[in-house]
A = this chain, B = another copy of it.
């Protein structure tokens, strides 16, 4: 005879505790990917179908931008919300970041940015001088990038309903005819290139937020990358398979996304990692892995091996990428995984960030 302990049975009931959004859901790491896969994408079937028609193998919503075919013109569109704290930091502010972030998302799809829109959510009581400064940054960053801000929106919420100001930029670009990039296009044998030093943006913002002192010596790398992309695509468009700017979640997340989307492995060399000494020192002290730290001015390119040297030469000829380097290779083994060959000759798994390392970093 079997008796059931009612106390035990009740353990099997569904938990009634409310599930809540955590900071990790916005990290650009694993929880972000789960939120996207489990909550956002199922509700947006129509978008995937449209993007798929436009030729994106993964339905488009897993890229940082979407491709649209309008009357024979191939457009790319992207949107990004910026919530960085502090608003002003060495190397830039929320305004420059908002312009560069969207310009770069379009560029990573091989597009020439044509126009930006900007929406501001402002907390009541926010100093008008700070607003003027941020708007001037948006204007000058857009002018320097040669991409006009064509329309916008401004909302004000009562004191306490937002923290200062949030800026959401969207952009429209036109795909370069020679561009054929997707996170799903990496192939075994490809070379993995990076356009410059990594780790500066996240480390600078965190240091400025907490007044740690590093911010006197390091600065965000925020900058537009569309001219670099244009130069690369014009030279060897057909040999550039993937482009990604490793922002939230850092190089580790970008490489993991590429490995997953393409069904390949990625191997990088620790000796090749371009981490500036001051950034490395700051990361050591803060317990951060530079591979997880956000960047706002460098890109990863996965390219055909025979084109790697020529593309590196194009990158090094430009000021925004003169320290471009080869980070590693795409391999057929361990599909979906990223591995680092360490200084000591061993290998270690490079995982996506789980949870939140640095909230409000962009």
Contact = CB atoms under 8 A, between A and B. Distances in A.
Given A21-B156, A161-B162, A118 B151 contact: no
Interface in A116-137: 116-129, 131-132, 135-136
Interface residues of A, number: 90
A79 B127 contact: no
Contact of A79 (B25, B140, B170, B356): B170
A9 B96 CA distance: 41
Nearest to A62: B151
Interface stretch (A67-75, A185-193, A306-314): A67-75
Given A124-B21, A151-B61, A172 B79 contact: no
B18 A129 contact: yes
Taking each of A22, A49, A64, A138, which has the highest tally of chain B beta carbons within 10 Å of its own beta carbon?
Answer: A22
A22 B168 contact: no
A213 interface: no
B128 A21 contact: yes
A20 B126 contact: yes
A45 B116 CA distance: 13
Interface stretch (A32-40, A227-235, A266-274, A293-301): A32-40
B150 A119 contact: no
SS class, residues of chain A in contact with chain B = mixed
Interface in A29-84: 32, 35-36, 39-40, 43-47, 49-51, 60-61, 63-66, 68, 70-71, 73, 75, 77-83
Given A18-B127, A162-B162, A77 B148 contact: no
Contacts of A46: 139, 142-143, 148-149
Contact of A150 (B68, B114, B115, B157): B68
A284 interface: no
